[in-house]
Amino acid sequence: MKNQRTVYKSVRKNTIKKDSAMNKTLKSSFLGILVTVGVGFALMFASTAAALLTDDPTAFVTPVGYVLPFVCAILGGFICSKLNKSSPYLVSLICGGGVVLLSLVASFVIPHSLSTGTNIGTRLLLNALTLATFPLGTLISIKASNGSKPKHKKKR
C-alpha cells in the first residue's frame, strides 16, 4: 500500500511538471504572437511613412507588401526563441501558426478593394512561406547566443 502511494505521488508530480511546461510554452507563444503583430504594425507604419515621403508612394506598396511579412516572421522567430529557451522551435512554430492564421482571417475579412488583389492560391503560398520563415529567426537567435559565449581553452 505504501509503495502504491509513492508511485502515485511521483506520477502526479511528473504530470504537474509537464502541464506547467506546456502552459509556459503556450504563454510564450501567445506573447510572441502579440509582439510579432505589434512589430508588424510598427514596421507597416514606418514603411508607410517612408513611402509617403517619396514622389510616388504607391510604387512601394507591392514590394513592401511581399517583404514585410518575412521580416516580421524572422523577428517573430527571434523573439519567440528568447521568450522560451527550453523549446524555441516549438514556440516559434506555434507563434507562426497563430500569426499566419490571423493573416488568413484578416485577408478574408478585409474588403477586396483594400487587399493586394492576389488570388487565394498566392495568399496561401505566401502564408506557408511566412510560416516556414519563423524557425529561421529562431535559428539566427540560437546561433547568435551560442556565438557570444566565451570559449574556454583546455588546460593541460
> What is the SS3 assignment for 86?
coil
Please write the tens of the pLDDT for every residue from 100-136: 888 888 877 876 644 556 677 777 888 888 888 888 8
The model's pTM is 0.72
Q: Please count the structural domains in the chain.
A: 1
Instruction: Please report whether residue 101 resides in a domain.
Output: yes
Q: What pLDDT does 127 receive?
A: 84
Closest to 135 measured CA to CA, from 100, 94, 101, 106:
94
Instruction: Please report whether residue 64 resides in a domain.
Output: yes
Instruction: Please report whether residue 16 resides in a domain.
Output: no
Domain that holds residue 50: 28-139
